[in-house]
Amino acid sequence: MAKTEQQNQERQISTLKITPYYCENNMNQKVLVFLLPNFIFGMFLLGFFCKRQKPLTGAFSSPSENWLAIQNDRKSMLASVCLKNNLNKLKSKLDSRVANQLFVEHKHKFIYCEVPKVGCSNWKRTIFLLQADLNAEASEIEHNHIHQTSLIKKLVSYPPAIQKEFLSNYTKVMFTRHPLERLVSAYRDKLLHSEPYYSIAVANEIRAMFRKNKNSSEKVSFQEFVNFIIAKPPNTLDIHWKPMFLLCDPCNIHYDILGKYETLGLDSEHVLKVIGAPESLQFPSLKRYRSEKRTNGDITLEYLRQLTSEQIEKIKKLYQMDFFLFNYTMKYEDYFSLND
């Protein structure tokens, strides 16, 4: 996995917006005077980004050094892309939409950014068990209950000054997933099942946009779903398919651990170790629709092959920053073949 990430990183770096600065012997001094402050400011932002993250080395012994190296690579890649695309904003107040995605667990000083379709239900179960200090199993917590309970606090429920304090002192974690696999997972979960809001309200909106027969009750196709998504501004999209970087703002919230769905078990194990969770607590692998196969590479490719090349390009553009920031390749056929 480390080798795969390194190869992806090398491919992605070549696509980034990089402005080369070079100096010839006869360069005009005025150009130097203009460039130098910009270079210094860039280095300041990069240093600020790294300083705000907590060192993880103290929690691990030598067998975990490879995991720490992967973490450093992920953070380095993200910081570089943030800087090159001017995504670092010195804001005095956290965006309320982002604060609404952040769940706070005080006992272990832990903040988790919810990214739907990346194991978030199981992370909410874990947070519930961490703070409740109950002798209970994650499997006992119903899916609907964990998404509706008021016992798990969101950062948005606190005043701005307290939010800032928590962000400075708590261990912050977010998890990502290949953008196209996450998209297919969202479609299968929300549009192919009988969840009232999505299978009725959202489905009817999609049918009204793309079908001549507005009264058709046939399930929304994946092509219709994709056309619906690319027709809307990214910031207005439902959280289940909104770009991940818009949900968690990783260029301005400096996450201490960047987990991935592709290494969910290992990364979750290390998160629990870092925050000092009880050794008896294991990250669950529960699934809502247990009779169905999880969305994997083969299933993702099956759905993506239903799209036109134009739709593929538009969906890649929508999730472009997710690909770059979290080091996922856009060559999805190669990626899913290698990882399945």
* pLDDT in the model for residue 270: 96
The pLDDT value given to residue 78: 98
- Residue carrying the six token digits 């008021």: 150
Q: What pLDDT is recorded for position 30?
A: 45
For residue 111, give both structure tokens: 């903040």
Taking the chain (340 residues) in runs of 10, the rounded mean pLDDT of each run is 54 44 43 48 51 54 79 97 93 90 95 95 88 63 60 93 96 98 96 89 93 86 97 97 98 97 94 92 69 88 95 97 96 70
Q: Which residues of 51-65 are buried (b: 16+ CB within 10 A; e: fewer)?
A: eebeebeeeeeeebe
215 three-state secondary structure: coil
Q: What is the pLDDT of residue 292?
A: 81
- pLDDT value of position 248: 98
Count H helices and E strands in the chain, helices first.
17, 5
Rounded to an integer, what distance in angstroms lies between the CA atom of residue 287 and that of residue 265? Answer: 14
Residue 129 confidence (pLDDT): 85
Q: What is the pLDDT of residue 31?
A: 40
Query: What DSSP assignment string belongs to 98-158?
Result: HHTTEEEETTTTEEEE--TTSSHHHHHHHHHHHHHT-S--GGGS-HHHHHH-SSSEEGGGS
- The tokens for 126 are 């874990």
